[in-house]
């Protein structure tokens, strides 16, 4: 009888990764003692390293720098595009179509499609270019620090590769998927600019992060992302309502990055709770009275993005298939 591979647990916890995550977040925790906003920004900067995990060889670990660049530079691009609203809407459509074609032809195209493109949407929330550049610098500093720290760990054998989260597109699939992805991103951008002027990038990021070429993965990510955002938002709301001192913000930053690192590899969609938690603390630490409104805005934007991803990613292909049949 053939042996069956046990299913990955819904949530995994690795103590060695937890220790590494706490060390990643240590500068953020110390910075929060003096300025909670800067501490949260530094924590977001080391988040890509915590999410990727420790790569087997030291030679491969500088990929953390690439991840930091893949987050930071697209955010600046999004901040530039949103200076003119119609340019932002058209721009995200064009970038989505181009990213789909690139993913079908180049290996690194999957990174552009699944990470860089949603970060352009996140950049729509930063209409102040100077703020976007400052945030970018903190992300890059966090990436450099996390990369250097990861080199202290010994090399280890590579684990079995899990099933890919994103199947590569074929050149035949790319045009159709790119058009639908671009339509989802552009519609989310228009909705965000019209309905959530404070943070118009949130529905765009939700739509582009959730939408996938395979129906099964998109369904899992849709439900998982929404629940994860709710958990992170409620945690931030409870902390803000207690009017915490600065040291509590530092502990919160360390705890959040520790959780992100320790649960890396979980089957459930745990990670979005961490950036939601950190972003709300970053935005609201100076005015906790706005916490309820920003929480509602975050959840509402996520619902809009997930709904648009469902429309263009699942419902529209089904309707087109029936019409052709």
The pTM for the full model equals: 0.80
pLDDT at 179 (0 to 100): 94
pLDDT at 49 exceeding the cut of 80: yes
Q: What is the pLDDT of residues 24-43, one digit of tens each?
A: 999 999 999 999 988 988 89
Confidence class for position 168, pLDDT limits 50, 70, 90: low
Q: Quick: pLDDT tens for 196-246.
A: 777 888 899 888 988 888 777 777 777 777 788 888 888 988 898 888 899
Helix 201-210 vs helix 215-241: crossing angle, to nearest 10 = 140
Number of Cβ atoms within 10 Å of the Cβ of 308: 24
Q: 4: pLDDT confidence band, cut at 50, 70 and 90?
A: very low
- Convert the pLDDT of each residue in 99-108 to its tens digit: 999 988 887 7
For residue 302, the model assigns a pLDDT of 84
Of 265 and 84, the structure prediction assigns the larger pLDDT to 84
Question: With 50 as the cut, is the pLDDT of residue 164 above it?
Answer: no
pLDDT of 165 strictly over 50:
no
Q: Is the pLDDT confidence value at 6 over 80?
A: no
Report pLDDT for 160: 62
Q: What is residue 53's three-state secondary structure?
A: coil
If we measure between CA atoms, which residue out of 203, 161, 167, 210 comes closest to residue 186?
203
Task: Supply the mean pLDDT for the chain.
Answer: 85
Q: Which residue, among 290, 268, 273, 229, has the nearest Cα to 47 in the 3D structure? A: 273
> Comparing C-alpha atoms, which of 120, 144, 143 is closest to residue 132?
120
Give the SS3 label for residue 39: helix
Q: Residue 135's pLDDT is what? A: 81
Query: Across residues 114-133, what is the average pLDDT?
Result: 86
Q: Report whether 123 contacts 212 (CB < 8 A).
A: no
For residue 1, the model assigns a pLDDT of 38
The lowest-confidence range among 125-129, 245-249, 301-305 is 125-129
Measured CA to CA, the distance from residue 180 to residue 182 in angstroms comes to 5
User: What is the spatial distance between Cα 49 and Cα 54, in angstroms, rounded to a whole number?
Assistant: 8
**114 φ, ψ (degrees, to nearest 5):** -95, -15
3-state secondary structure of 192: helix
**Cα(28)–Cα(263) distance, rounded to whole angstroms?**
20
Q: If you average pLDDT over each of 53-57, 126-130, 168-172, 321-325, which comes out highest?
A: 53-57
Structure tokens at 38: 């800067």
Q: 259-311: per-residue pLDDT in tens?
A: 999 998 887 778 888 988 998 888 788 777 777 777 888 888 888 988 998 89
Residue 213 is classified by DSSP as: S
pLDDT, residue 2, reads 40
């Amino acid at each position: 009888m053939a042996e069956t591979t046990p299913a990955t647990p819904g949530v995994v916890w690795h103590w060695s990764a937890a220790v590494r995550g706490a060390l990643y977040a240590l500068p953020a925790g110390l910075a929060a003692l003096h300025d909670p906003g800067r501490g949260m920004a530094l924590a977001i900067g080391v988040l890509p390293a915590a999410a990727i995990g420790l790569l087997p060889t030291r030679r491969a670990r500088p990929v953390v720098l690439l991840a930091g660049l893949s987050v930071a530079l697209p955010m600046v691009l999004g901040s530039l595009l949103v200076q003119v609203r119609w340019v932002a809407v058209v721009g995200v459509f064009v970038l989505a179509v181009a990213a789909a074609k690139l993913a079908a032809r180049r290996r690194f195209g999957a990174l552009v499609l699944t990470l860089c493109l949603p970060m352009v949407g996140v950049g729509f929330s930063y209409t102040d270019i100077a703020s976007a550049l400052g945030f970018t610098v903190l992300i890059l500093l966090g990436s450099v620090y996390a990369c250097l720290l990861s080199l202290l760990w010994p090399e280890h054998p590579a684990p079995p590769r899990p099933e890919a989260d994103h199947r590569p597109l074929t050149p035949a699939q790319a045009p159709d998927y790119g058009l639908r992805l671009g339509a989802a991103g552009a519609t989310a951008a228009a909705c965000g600019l019209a309905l959530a002027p404070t943070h118009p990038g949130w529905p765009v990021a939700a739509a582009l992060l959730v939408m996938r070429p395979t129906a099964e993965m998109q369904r899992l990510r849709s439900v998982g992302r929404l629940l994860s955002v709710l958990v992170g938002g409620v945690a931030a709301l409870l902390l803000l309502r207690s009017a915490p001192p600065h040291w509590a913000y530092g502990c919160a930053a360390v705890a959040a990055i520790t959780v992100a690192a320790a649960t890396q590899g979980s089957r459930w969609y745990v990670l979005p709770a961490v950036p939601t938690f950190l972003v709300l603390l970053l935005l609201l630490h100076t005015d906790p009275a706005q916490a309820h409104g920003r929480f509602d805005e975050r959840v509402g934007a996520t619902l809009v993005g997930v709904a648009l991803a469902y429309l263009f990613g699942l419902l529209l292909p089904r309707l087109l298939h029936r019409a052709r049949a």
